[in-house]
Amino acid sequence: MAEEINKYRDYGLEDFAQDEFFCKWVKNPSVETRSFWEIFIQNNEDKKALISEARKLVLLTTTKEKEISDVQINKIWKGIEAGIGRETKVVEMDSRSFISRNWYKFAAAAVILIGIFFVINQNEEAPVPLLVIAETGQQLNWDLPDGSKVKLNAGSEISFTEETWNKNRMVKLKGEGFFEVEKGARFSVITDLGTVEVLGTSFNVFAREGKMEVDCFTGKVKVSTPDQASSKLLTPGLGVKIAKQQISETYKFEQEEKATWRVGEFNYDDRPLQEVFAELERQYNLKVDIKTEIKDKKYTGVFTNDDLEVALEMICFPMELNYKVEGKQVEITKE
């Protein structure tokens, strides 16, 4: 390990981009590669910008969306080399979501995988959106261009266009995110299930598997169906749901009991048990194999994302279920 770390300290841009172990981390990360490169970056702050640019190069030259010619690759090299030295944004992780009793769990989970996809356009037409991904087993904090903030739950992603941000503050969301929006022009969160519009506020958006839920914490929030046929205006402590192009009546909620996923706690009140296990899969980056019928079971309770055994006990015991953990697989059976 020490010998490998010393080797990488002397690497340049091209060395990293052509290194097999580095490319494996960028394209198909594993616990081993995530742990190694997280520790390396923590101990070699001066290499952060270089590693960030090398990651972009690996993603660019391996994209399947469009073949890149030798001429284009040369242009990419020049652009990346010219960009090194510019200030690089560092993504902060909320440590409360990841710290466990074993340091190696933190080292393996703390790496942030940010997917950035580029399409080479020689005619310099419309700019390409930036894609930010919170992988399963991770939560991610991200600063938007105007200082607004978003925290992504595990298995979620956003995309937005930096170049046009000042004219159009628009974010596309898949999954779940908590937004804290700076005051200014209209700010929109677009999902496949509906749209949220604000001027400056904080709110939580959940949009998965045909269901959308929006909770307003501060300010005012307008929530619309995809066809804009109906909408609701939310004030602090009010929420609304969208399903099958239909928007529900507003409901009241206690703010301290909502969006607790931000601190690693997941609360449920009479929710389908299947939804609970789906969230468990995202938080612990594993597969739950259910060997018994749970379609009609509803769960009221809580679990946390810092200890799998405790989380399974909290879910399974009141539901009269047994569990068995084997690596990244959990089997659920009836007692």
For 42, 229, 290, 293, the CA distances from 321, given in Å and listed in that order, are: 41, 44, 10, 11
For 103, 198, 233, 267, 304, the CA distances from 313, given in Å and listed in that order, are: 23, 40, 39, 15, 11
**The token pair that represents 228 in the structure block:** 């804009």
The predicted structure's pLDDT at residue 9: 85
Which residues does the chain have with pLDDT short of 50? Answer: 63-69, 71-73, 75-76, 79-123
Domains of the chain in start order, with CATH, are 1-110 (no CATH), 126-255 (2.60.120.1440), 264-334 (3.55.50.30)
pLDDT tens-digit readout, 289-300: 999 999 899 999
- CA dihedral of 304, 308, 314, 318, whole degrees rounded to 10: 140
pLDDT tens-digit readout, 301-327: 999 999 999 999 999 999 999 999 999
The predicted structure's pLDDT at residue 13: 85
The predicted structure's pLDDT at residue 61: 60
